[in-house]
């Protein structure tokens, strides 16, 4: 089996819910040895964010699907960081780690001696990633931040939806933050390996949401006009939206004037490509309502399948609006092995595979999402040389589970 690109990296994951665990899972998929640390009393909140739940070893409902989506390729331990012994265990684990990931409120780990400056003292070249709602600085630094709140405050909901502001159907800010955090961690590790030492990575959901506004933010900064709700239409390209057909809707993504000429011909309206109102994209944007109305009139005469076949033949990007069931039933999803089945103690669980495709060091799936405290003894013996007596005492004192 090919060794993972990050097989030399040890990650201590003190995070929970989604952004931090998503980041750590990316690193784990690439081969890093990830230790997930949870509260002995309750564990990661997402273990209970269901239904649906998988069946536990006792036949009762086990972990929620939500937890499963972000926690494969990790070992799970439960340590009480509110206790002095628990703090010492985590410090010792951090001293052997390359990366620490945490998403406590800003300054929340300082009282435990587990903040960046404290752990830097025991591991000078540590890469320490903090993920918070608003970052380590600024007037809102101390406030909690959840994905939905940041979608609202960060502008995404103001441009999403038809009749009223609408959040995305997934926790997209958490997911983007996890990906950005993984990218920043890899950059910090590269800098460390060039002799520049460790560093503190400060990731804020609010910052990420602002960056995610991409062309919409730049439209505002350059043009001065505040974007509003646009439904499925594109603010800068026409036609680039869904349209009704005789039996459903179809998504059309015309990205160039050449594609528009082929689109117009396929619809039996080659004159559109010669019309000065529509020949160039800027004109199509300016005359959006007129053109969209005419396109709708033509497309509504035939079925979605008819138009998909005709437009694909013409080289015009288009496709159906799939349900999630249809996505995983699609031949492309099967060809790309997007569904992944992994065996847990209580049975096989289905997961979504990593989208990363590396020819020499691809992601590998060594461990299913771990059960609560599944690896506490294993990790503490392996990493800290804990004896059976120490493990017994720590458990009796509530330090570990």
> In this structure, what CATH number is given to the domain that contains residue 383?
3.40.50.10540
Q: What is the CATH number of the domain that holds 307?
A: 3.30.1540.10
Q: Among residues 323, 347, 371, which one ends one of the domains?
A: 323
Of 56-60, 83-87, 172-176, 308-312, minimum mean pLDDT range? 56-60
Tell whether 46 and 98 lie within a shared domain. yes
Mean pLDDT value of segment 321-345? 96
pLDDT (0 to 100) of residue 385: 97
Residue 289 lies in a domain: yes
- State how far the Cα of 191 lies from the Cα of 183, in Å rounded to an integer: 13
Residue 221 lies in a domain: no
pTM over 0.75: yes
Mean pLDDT value of segment 54-73? 94
pLDDT tens across 220-271, in order?
Answer: 999 999 999 999 999 999 999 999 999 999 999 999 999 999 999 999 999 9
In the structure, what pLDDT confidence band is assigned to residue 346 with cuts at 50, 70 and 90?
confident
Tell whether 316 and 342 lie within a shared domain. no
Residue 196 lies in a domain: yes
Q: Among residues 293, 323, 353, which one ends one of the domains?
A: 323
Task: Using the predicted structure, report yes or no on whether residue 1 has a pLDDT greater than 70.
Answer: no
Task: Using the predicted structure, report yes or no on whether residue 99 has a pLDDT greater than 90.
Answer: yes
Domain that holds residue 314: 240-323
The DSSP annotation for 4-45 comes to: PTTTT-EEEE---SSHHHHHHHHHHHTT-EEEEEE-TTT--G
Tell whether 316 and 344 lie within a shared domain. no
pLDDT (0 to 100) of residue 58: 85
Tell whether 135 and 269 lie within a shared domain. no
Residue 232 lies in a domain: no
pLDDT (0 to 100) of residue 246: 97
- State how far the Cα of 181 lies from the Cα of 52, in Å rounded to an integer: 28
pLDDT (0 to 100) of residue 3: 87
Tell whether 64 and 98 lie within a shared domain. yes
Task: Using the predicted structure, report yes or no on whether residue 375 has a pLDDT greater than 70.
Answer: yes
Tell whether 341 and 319 lie within a shared domain. no
pLDDT (0 to 100) of residue 56: 87
Instruction: Please choose, from the candidates 148, 54, 133, 152, the residue with its C-alpha nearest in 3D space to the C-alpha of residue 350.
Output: 54
pLDDT (0 to 100) of residue 316: 98
Residue 54 lies in a domain: yes
Which residues, including other chains, have CB under 8 Å from residue 109's CB and lie 6 or more apart? 14, 81, 102, 115
Residue 306 lies in a domain: yes
Residue 330 lies in a domain: no
- Mean pLDDT for all residues in the chain: 97
Residues recognised as catalytic: 174
Mean pLDDT value of segment 90-107? 97
Tell whether 249 and 361 lie within a shared domain. no
pLDDT (0 to 100) of residue 70: 98
Tell whether 15 and 108 lie within a shared domain. yes
Tell whether 258 and 114 lie within a shared domain. no
Tell whether 121 and 181 lie within a shared domain. yes
Q: Among residues 268, 293, 323, which one ends one of the domains?
A: 323
Mean pLDDT value of segment 379-384? 98
Residue 157 lies in a domain: yes
In the structure, what pLDDT confidence band is assigned to residue 4 with cuts at 50, 70 and 90?
very high
Angle, to 10 degrees, between the axis of helix 257-266 and the axis of helix 304-313? 130
In the structure, what pLDDT confidence band is assigned to residue 359 with cuts at 50, 70 and 90?
very high
The DSSP annotation for 70-108 comes to: T--SEEEEEB-TTSHHHHHHHHHHHHT-SEEEE-PSTTT
Judge if the upstream peptide bond of residue 51 is cis by omega within 30 degrees of 0: yes
Provide the 3-class DSSP secondary structure of residue 66. helix
The number of domains in the chain is 2
pLDDT (0 to 100) of residue 59: 86
- Edge to edge, the sheet with strand 127-132 lists 74-78, 33-38, 10-13, 99-102, 127-132, 199-204
Tell whether 177 and 66 lie within a shared domain. yes
Task: Using the predicted structure, report yes or no on whether residue 306 has a pLDDT greater than 90.
Answer: yes
Percent of the chain predicted with pLDDT > 70? 100
- State how far the Cα of 37 lies from the Cα of 43, in Å rounded to an integer: 8
Mean pLDDT value of segment 310-319? 97
How many angstroms separate the Cα of 190 from the Cα of each of 187, 194, 196, 400? 5, 6, 9, 34
Note the helical H segments in 319-387: 324-329, 331-335, 376-384
- Edge to edge, the sheet with strand 240-244 lists 240-244, 249-253, 318-320
Tell whether 272 and 373 lie within a shared domain. no
Task: Using the predicted structure, report yes or no on whether residue 2 has a pLDDT greater than 80.
Answer: no
Say if residues 324 and 350 touch (Cβ distance below 8 Å). no
Task: Using the predicted structure, report yes or no on whether residue 110 has a pLDDT greater than 80.
Answer: yes
The DSSP annotation for 231-260 comes to: TTS-SS-SSEEEEE-SSSEEEEE--SHHHH
Task: Using the predicted structure, report yes or no on whether residue 320 has a pLDDT greater than 80.
Answer: yes
């Amino acid at each position: 089996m090919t060794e993972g690109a990050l097989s030399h990296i040890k990650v201590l994951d003190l995070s929970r819910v989604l952004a931090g665990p998503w980041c750590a899972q990316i690193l784990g998929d690439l081969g890093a040895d990830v230790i997930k640390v949870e509260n002995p009393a309750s564990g990661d909140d997402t273990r209970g964010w269901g239904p649906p739940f998988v069946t536990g070893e006792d036949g009762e409902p086990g972990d929620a699907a939500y937890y499963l989506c972000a926690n494969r390729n990790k070992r799970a331990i439960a340590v009480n960081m509110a206790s002095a012994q628990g703090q010492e265990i985590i410090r010792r684990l951090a001293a052997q780690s390359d990366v620490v990931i945490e998403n406590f409120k800003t300054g929340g780990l300082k009282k435990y001696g587990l903040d960046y400056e404290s752990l830097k003292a025991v591991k000078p070249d540590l890469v320490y990633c903090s993920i918070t709602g608003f970052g380590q600085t600024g007037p809102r630094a101390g406030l909690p931040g959840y994905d939905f709140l940041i979608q609202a405050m960060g502008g995404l909901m103001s441009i999403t939806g038809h009749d009223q502001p609408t959040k995305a159907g997934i926790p997209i800010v958490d997911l983007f933050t996890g990906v950005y955090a993984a990218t920043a961690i890899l950059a910090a590790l590269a800098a460390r390996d060039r002799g520049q030492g460790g560093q503190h990575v400060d990731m804020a959901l609010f910052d990420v949401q602002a960056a995610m506004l991409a062309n919409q933010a730049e439209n505002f900064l350059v043009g001065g006009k505040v974007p509003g709700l646009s439904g499925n239409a594109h603010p800068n390209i026409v036609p680039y939206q869904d349209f009704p057909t005789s039996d459903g809707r179809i998504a059309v993504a015309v990205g160039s004037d050449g594609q528009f000429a082929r689109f117009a011909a396929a619809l039996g309206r080659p004159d559109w490509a010669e019309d000065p109102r529509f020949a160039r994209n800027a004109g199509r944007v300016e005359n959006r309502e007129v053109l969209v109305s005419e396109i709708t009139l033509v497309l509504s005469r035939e079925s979605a399948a008819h138009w998909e076949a005709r437009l694909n033949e013409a080289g015009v990007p288009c496709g159906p609006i799939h349900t999630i069931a249809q996505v995983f039933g699609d031949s492309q999803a099967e060809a790309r092995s997007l569904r992944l089945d992994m065996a847990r103690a209580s049975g096989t669980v289905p997961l979504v595979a990593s989208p990363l495709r590396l020819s020499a060091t691809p992601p590998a799936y060594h461990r299913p999402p771990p059960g609560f405290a599944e690896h506490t003894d294993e990790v503490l013996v392996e990493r800290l040389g804990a004896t059976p007596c120490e493990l017994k005492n720590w458990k009796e004192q509530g330090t570990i589970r």
